[in-house]
Structure 1
């Protein structure tokens, strides 16, 4: 089954199932920038993507997330990334992941 995770959704910090736990982990990888985690500086997506064009961001995020999910959350397989611009300088990232449970 394929699940959607959005950069604008609230993170479920109290997962009640394995599916919710995997989605929480995927959501954390999406919402945290590199260098924000004190002992894991390479965790998550590159913060230099801020203020870049959407076509550049979408390709770079796809590349970064495939690598990060394989390393930090191998129970999720990235199927698709979509970046939707809402207004100038603001966008939402949608991930579509298949869970391996």
Structure 2
């Protein structure tokens, strides 16, 4: 699967349809909701391509950057596990903070 290195700042929530946003995110407060606020930690571009910089941004956010992520602990744990897998897809080691959250 292709991996994009485009600047993550190139994408905003408004670039995504509700369905694209849901597929792009790792946390789903209400999986059936079309409300973008119910889906957090996007890592994919609107077309579904995994974005390296999006993975890095999601890891930083999950580790507490920018105020962290407002989500239940179990959802954060699952997101950390997903990020660990994505880092391996990128041929990178996940940050220690993400490895600890994934345990």
For normalisation by structure 2, the TM-score amounts to: 0.32
Q: Which has the higher helix share?
A: 2
- Could you say which structure has the greater relative contact order, defined with CA pairs below 8 angstroms and 6 or more residues apart? 1
For normalisation by structure 1, the TM-score amounts to: 0.32
Q: Which has the higher strand share?
A: 1
